[in-house]
Amino acid sequence: MTKSTITKFFQFVIFFILLAATFSACTMGSSETVSGARSTRYLPPKNVGSIADTEIAESSGLIASKCQPDVFWTHNDSGDDAFIYALRKTGAKLGTWHVPGAQNIDWEDIAGFKDNTGKCFIYIGEIGDNQSKRSEHAIYRIREPRITPDAADSTRAQPVEADKADVIRFTYPDGNHDAETLLVNPNTADIYIISKRMDGPAGVYRLRDDFGVEQVVKAEKVADISVPAVPNGFLTGGDISPDGRYLAISDYAAGYEFTLPESAKKFDEIWKQEPEVVDLGKRKVGESVCYSPDGNAIYASSEGKGAPIYEIVRRQL
């Protein structure tokens, strides 16, 4: 068991002790333990599969490809090398890719971006820091690999090679932080990192699309956010909807959706909104969450071998 896994286990235990102290009927990994307004936009979660690849033991981030139908990408937490894994929404294995030029010290989330020429990219957040001791972190970016039939047989021992990663190395403006949430704005390519805090609201930090810059850049703090849970800043993953109007974030117990007002002139107004609780299913250690390519569903999974994959479909009005 890795040091990161051990630390997260104790964080997980503390998280639910706090929940139990606040709510008399505590159900592990369930939105029933969370107060706050429930979203009426979604149907109940449906288990659509389980992660079949036994090399995926700590799925810590999840994205749905915007260029290839029914293709999802994930990665392991710390303890793995620089690998990303492709799968179907049923959990069926599609292959293993090694990312040259990247290092997995504590990968915590993954994000997708489609540019105005139709090219798709994968962003990987080297942003974990359980002890808040690291002053420098990194965001890696690669061109999304194409899925081929023979890739399904690839493994960590014999992976497919992805393109060499571009990188942004960054520091925070206000000290060291642990973070598990990486977001990319689909309209501006701005990068957001949201910290994970046990003792208060989470911080939201922004980076510009400065890949290729040699020097270490400083992230800009743009907001603090809270979810209706105890703790209120203990966030483990997230995604921005393809149209840029919604933001889904998770902790171990539930999901939370922020909505950008129709009158908003800029995306950063979303941080001022009150989120609604979304049931993401019964996840053991829920860290991975993403929107479907059309924004009409949310997908969620958790750490652990054979972890279930949940589909939460938006109600048709």
- Tokens describing residue 105: 């010290």
Fold designation for 3-313 = Neuraminidase (2.120.10)
Global pTM reads: 0.90
**Sheet containing 237-240, strands listed edge to edge, beginning at the edge strand earlier in sequence:** 237-240, 246-250, 255-259, 276-278
Quick: pLDDT tens for 62-101.
999 999 999 999 999 877 899 999 999 999 999 999 999 9
Residues of the chain under the 50 pLDDT cut: 18, 20-28
Q: What pLDDT score was predicted for residue 293?
A: 97
- The residue written with tokens 């998280």 in the block is 15
Instruction: Identify how many contiguous H helices and E strands the chain contains and give both numbers.
Output: 1, 22
The Cβ of residue 274 has, within 10 Å, a number of other Cβ atoms equal to: 12
Q: What pLDDT score was predicted for residue 39?
A: 87
As a whole number of angstroms, the distance between CA 195 and CA 201 comes to 9
Quick: pLDDT tens for 205-248.
999 999 989 899 999 999 999 999 999 999 999 999 999 999 99
280-283 own/partner pairs: CB under 8 Å, 24+ apart: 280/31, 280/45, 280/250, 280/254, 280/255, 280/310, 280/312, 281/45, 281/47, 281/308, 281/310, 281/312, 282/29, 282/30, 282/308, 283/29, 283/252, 283/307, 283/308, 283/310
| Overall size of the chain counted in residues | 317
As a whole number of angstroms, the distance between CA 317 and CA 210 comes to 40
As a whole number of angstroms, the distance between CA 43 and CA 59 comes to 24
As a whole number of angstroms, the distance between CA 51 and CA 49 comes to 7
57 Ramachandran zone, left/alpha/beta (phi>0; psi -120 to 50): alpha
Residue 142's Cβ-side half-sphere holds a number of Cα atoms within 13 Å equal to 21
Kindly calculate the radius of gyration of the chain based on its CA atoms and give it in whole angstroms.
18
As a whole number of angstroms, the distance between CA 312 and CA 308 comes to 13
